[in-house]
Amino acid sequence: MTRQSASSIDAPPALPPVALPSPEGAGTEGPGTGLGVGLRGPTRWHDCRATVCPMRRSSTARRLGHSWLLVLPLWCGVVLPVMGRQVSVAFAQPGAASTEQPEKPAPLGPLPATVPTPAGNDTTPARVELGRLLFFDKRLSGNNTQSCATCHDPQQGWTEAVARTKGSTGEKLPRNTPTVLNSGFLASLFWDGRAQSLEEQALGPLTAPDEMNQDLAELERELAAVAGYRTRFQQAYGTAPTRESIARALAAFQRTLVTGRAPFDRFLAGETVALSEGARRGYELFIGEAGCARCHAGPLLSDGKFHRLGVSFRDVGRGRVTGRAEDRARFRTPSLRNVAQTAPYMHNGSLKTLTDVVTFYYRGIPPVTPDNLPLDIRPRGSQSFSEVTDLVEFLESLTGPPPEIAVPELPE
């Protein structure tokens, strides 16, 4: 594997060209150096007749010596740093090459020890327990047929193994269900980032006509009629069931859905054998030549930003949220933690397996786009089968043990 980050998508910005003095240039007008100084031959730059001149004895020494005196500062000031840069690119961790990017991706690393909480909704045991009950309670949907866990099923990686699931009214949803594992770490929620917090997010699926199709006032009444909920809402938030406290409790519960250490975390901590050889090669590719870590970086392996890969152009994606044409068909980089458990993939669930996803990056990026929309990525040129399997093995090493959450007995 070459590590010079040959991939055009993350090639470092070009350095200004440096023209070195040609030997023929000695004694005549030399080429420009790119430093605004014309290099000239020694006789024009320096008068050798001075007795202190160490070069004056031989004419060859005089010619060569003086040109080197002039070239030396150039050599130290320009050539060595340029060489050093190439050497450091060649020997650094492959990801280091992308530090030349204008936007430096965060290094891959373990999940933070604590999940950030917004003011006013500290994660207390009473809130988490209430949120767990609500998450599994089908009474939350308008026709009492769906709970959050219907689509975010703990047995299926807290998502559902279908491309596009159906809402409580039987209608297919436009997008693939993401896992809620580690969702407490996300800076924005949904494929298009339209919610900024889990609190804000929770009321979305509850009220969406094609999802749980619930009337919030009715839900408040329904839950207030359940004695077990009345006391729990009092304990957790000091109120009767309100839409705000429902959303907060669901958020508090979801903040506890953090995955444990994956083999990849152990590898990063120094346990080399935690990854198979293939996964290690995959990791090198991921942070190096294959350019994945340009977007899949940080503890979640996501930059939290929005990119257009050309998976599909049917969905406006981020464009609807910002109202900007340039964000059309852009989607949030998904976290890759536990990704092996959350097939199928992409915002529309169109890719069935991790092999399909990695192959997409090699061959599936479309050459033409509607209205010539520029893509935020270019296909990997080569089509090496072993690279695909190595990358898939690496992705599989990102699976950490999910939290063990028992399906609760619901209050009556």
DSSP states along 61-107: HHHHHHHHHHHHHHIIIIIHHHHHHHHHHHHS-GGGGGGGSSSPPPP
346 lies in the binding site for ligand HEC (CB under 6 A): yes
146 lies in the binding site for ligand HEC (CB under 6 A): yes
- Choose, by CB under 6 A, the member of 26, 148, 300, 398 that binds ligand HEC: 148
Q: Which CB sits closer to ligand HEC, 100 or 376?
A: 376
Residue 361 C-beta: closest distance to ligand HEC, Å: 4
What is the dihedral angle through the alpha carbons of 272, 274, 277, 282, rounded to the nearest 10 degrees? Answer: -100
- Choose, by CB under 6 A, the member of 70, 257, 279, 290 that binds ligand HEC: 290
Q: Which CB sits closer to ligand HEC, 191 or 264?
A: 191
- Choose, by CB under 6 A, the member of 150, 245, 338, 359 that binds ligand HEC: 150
Beta strands 331-332 and 29-32, pairing class: unpaired
Query: Cis (ω within 30 of 0) for the bond into 209?
Result: no
Stretch that binds ligand HEC, among 31-39, 80-88, 181-189, 266-274 (CB under 6 A): 181-189
CB-based burial of residue 111 (10 Å sphere; 0-12 exposed, 13-18 middle, 19+ buried)? buried
361 lies in the binding site for ligand HEC (CB under 6 A): yes
Q: How far apart are CA 334 and CA 348, in angstroms?
A: 13
Collapsed DSSP state (helix, strand, coil) of residue 210:
coil
Q: How far apart are CA 53 and CA 51, in angstroms?
A: 5
Q: How far apart are CA 264 and CA 280, in angstroms?
A: 9
Q: Which CB sits closer to ligand HEC, 41 or 334?
A: 334
State the greatest distance between any 2 C-alpha atoms of the chain, in Å, as a whole number: 107
- Choose, by CB under 6 A, the member of 55, 115, 226, 395 that binds ligand HEC: 395
67 lies in the binding site for ligand HEC (CB under 6 A): no
Evaluate whether 190 touches 201 at the Cβ level (below 8 Å).
yes
Using CB under 6 A as the binding rule, the residues of this chain from 295 to 334 that contact ligand HEC are 295-296, 307, 309, 311, 331, 333-334
Report the helix count and the strand count for the chain, using DSSP H and E: 14, 4
* Contact mark string toward ligand HEC, 245..274, x via CB under 6 A: -----x---x--------------------
Collapsed DSSP state (helix, strand, coil) of residue 297:
coil
Q: How far apart are CA 69 and CA 80, in angstroms?
A: 16
- Choose, by CB under 6 A, the member of 39, 292, 297, 300 that binds ligand HEC: 292
Tokens linked to 12: 């470092």
State the catalytic residues: 211
Q: Which CB sits closer to ligand HEC, 32 or 174?
A: 174
Stretch that binds ligand HEC, among 41-49, 236-244, 319-327, 344-352 (CB under 6 A): 344-352
Residue 322 C-beta: closest distance to ligand HEC, Å: 15
Q: Which CB sits closer to ligand HEC, 130 or 173?
A: 173
Of 180, 149, 131, 117, the C-alpha closest to 338 is 180
Strands (E), 319-370: 331-332
CB atoms within 10 A of CB 342: 24
Using CB under 6 A as the binding rule, the residues of this chain from 159 to 178 that contact ligand HEC are 165, 167, 173, 175, 177-178
* Contact mark string toward ligand HEC, 188..207, x via CB under 6 A: -xxx------x--xx--xx-
How many of the chain's residues bind ligand HEC (CB under 6 A)?
53
- Choose, by CB under 6 A, the member of 211, 289, 390, 393 that binds ligand HEC: 211
Instruction: List Cβ neighbours of 301 (8 Å cut-off, separation of 6 or more).
Output: 108, 293, 335, 336, 337, 398
Residue 271 C-beta: closest distance to ligand HEC, Å: 22
Cα distances (Å, whole numbers) of residue 382 to 344, 386, 394: 25, 11, 19
152 lies in the binding site for ligand HEC (CB under 6 A): yes
Residue 14 C-beta: closest distance to ligand HEC, Å: 21
Neighbour-count burial for 15-24, b at 16+ CB within 10 Å, e otherwise: eeeeebbeee
358 lies in the binding site for ligand HEC (CB under 6 A): yes
Residues that bind ligand HEC (CB under 6 A): 140, 146, 148, 150-152, 165, 167, 173, 175, 177-178, 180, 183, 186, 189-191, 198, 201-202, 205-206, 211-212, 250, 254, 290-292, 294-296, 307, 309, 311, 331, 333-334, 336, 339, 342, 345-347, 354, 357-358, 361, 376-377, 391, 395
